[in-house]
Amino acid sequence: MDSIKSAIREIGRQRPLITMNLDVLDVTDVSFGFRRLTLHGHEIDEYSDPRAADAFKVMIPPLDALDRRSHAPVRDAQGLPTWPGQQDPLLRALTVRSLDRARRLMTVDVSSHSDGLLNLWLSALSPGDTVSISGMRAEWYLPAEIEQLVLIADDAGAPALASIIEALPTETASTHTHIIAPESTRDYLGAAGTEGSNSAVTFVPSLTDLKAEGIVGNGARSQVWIAAETSTVRTLRSVAKYDWNVNTQDLLARAYWHRGLSGTDVDARDLERYRKALDEGADMHSPQLAEDISLND
Ligand SMILES: Cc1cc2nc3c(=O)[nH]c(=O)nc-3n(C[C@H](O)[C@H](O)[C@H](O)COP(=O)(O)OP(=O)(O)OC[C@H]3O[C@@H](n4cnc5c(N)ncnc54)[C@H](O)[C@@H]3O)c2cc1C
């Protein structure tokens, strides 16, 4: 069956791990609560198969490092990225918000929250600094057979959501799609160029207030995409599976952050889980594996 899960697994198998060292052009406020990093460089040429909402890891050097380039990771025997001969850099996951291959420009939108390394690092960046990123992980695919679409994201998932909305075929965007996001993303999703589809966005005070009834109709093949905080994703994944009867192959539930844990803590926890699963024969490109690792306690 052609599905978001099977396609993402296949894309993951085919894509090489690419690392790009890019120059900072600009860091600006894009709307309340979001800052945009604009990157530029010829290494963008290596990113030859961009897809909506592609995700990558930014490699953050120590804030006082003289050389701000990070070495490219290589895959170890299990296929996981490692940095032989040097300490692993601090990593944070982000989304390609937009890409202009002709002008070799990439933008990345970062939601501001009170804590965290990412915002500290962004504040210290100046035009001309080098930023090293490594990826790309596919986060989106839409089979032609899908009849209804539900897209749910919080602030961290809003850049990916905005990128997906822009990529939707016009007919899908107007007639078969429910988009649900918190009030805190209203300005961003408007300012980020998704005005045309804004009427379809339902803004809720918080994603946990979501009323499950009336979103997915009986019988139609539905795809559900969720990108938010771990416990919220867990709850919404259950709603999709048990209230809406969505086939797990048509469900992508991504934990974009974990309340009370830094990205470094989450990566360290998940790396152990990945190593164990891969030893037991799991497929490292399977989005189901990623879902189980990040959502199952
Ligand atoms: C595939 C993928 C794509 C992503 N794309 C984006 C993107 O494009 N833009 C974006 O802004 N984020 C994105 N995220 C989320 C981002 O990676 C995490 O939010 C990350 O933890 C932020 O790092 P930090 O250094 O700000 O905070 P950390 O140092 O990781 O965490 C410090 C504290 O802040 C809390 N925290 C972390 N993130 C948030 C948040 N968003 N809101 C409130 N509290 C938080 C943590 O629980 C912790 O207590 C993505 C995540 C994934 C997995």
Q: Would you list the DSSP string of the chain?
A: ---HHHHHHHHHHHSPPEEEEEEEEEEEEEETTEEEEEEE-GGGGG--S--TT-EEEEEE--TT-S--PPPPPEE-TTS-EE-TTSPPPEEEEEE--EEETTTTEEEEEEE--SS-HHHHHHHH--TT-EEEEEEEE------TT--EEEEEE-TTTHHHHHHHHHHS-HHHHHHSEEEEEEGGGHHHHIIIIIGGGGGGEEEES-GGG---TTTS-TTS-EEEEEEEEHHHHHHHHHIIIIIS---GGGEEEEEEEBTTB-HHHHHHHHHHHHHHHHHTT--TT-HHHHHHHHH--
Q: Which atom of ligand 1 is nearest to the CA of 94?
A: 5
142 to 9, 133, 159: CA distances (angstroms): 14, 26, 18
Q: What pLDDT, on the 0 to 100 scale, is given for residue 160?
A: 98
Q: Whose CA is nearest to atom 41 of ligand 1?
A: 156
Name which of 30, 58, 20, 41 is nearest 127 in CA terms: 41
Q: Is 156 in the pocket of ligand 1 (CB under 6 A)?
A: yes
Q: What pLDDT, on the 0 to 100 scale, is given for residue 124?
A: 87
pLDDT band with cut points at 50, 70 and 90 for residue 198: very low
Fold topology of 4-137: Elongation Factor Tu (Ef-tu); domain 3 (2.40.30)
Q: Is 93 in the pocket of ligand 1 (CB under 6 A)?
A: yes
pLDDT band with cut points at 50, 70 and 90 for residue 172: low
Residue 43 has pLDDT above 90, yes or no: yes
Q: Which atom of ligand 1 is nearest to the CA of 259?
A: 47
Q: Report the C-alpha gap between 73 and 55 in whole angstroms.
A: 16
> Does the pTM exceed 0.95?
no
CATH class of this structure's domain 148-260+287-295:
alpha beta
Q: How far is the CA of 38 from the centre of ligand 1 (A)?
A: 19
Q: What pLDDT, on the 0 to 100 scale, is given for residue 216?
A: 84
Sign of CA dihedral 230, 236, 240, 243: positive
Highest mean pLDDT among 80-89, 117-126, 180-189, 271-280: 180-189
pLDDT band with cut points at 50, 70 and 90 for residue 35: very high
Of 115, 155, 226, the one to substitute when testing ligand 1's pocket (max ligand atoms within 8 A of C-beta) is 115
User: Which of 12-16, 21-25, 170-174 is predicted with the least confidence, judged by mean pLDDT?
Assistant: 170-174
Q: Is 287 in the pocket of ligand 1 (CB under 6 A)?
A: no
Q: What would the pLDDT profile of 125-140 be if each residue is shown by its tens digit? A: 999 999 999 999 999 9
Highest mean pLDDT among 83-92, 195-204, 244-253: 244-253
Mean local confidence (pLDDT), 156-179: 85
Residue 5 has pLDDT above 80, yes or no: yes
- Domains 4-137 and 148-260+287-295 are alike in CATH topology: no
Instruction: Delimit the domains of the chain by residue range.
Output: 4-137, 148-260+287-295
Mean local confidence (pLDDT), 183-199: 71
Residue 93 has pLDDT above 60, yes or no: yes
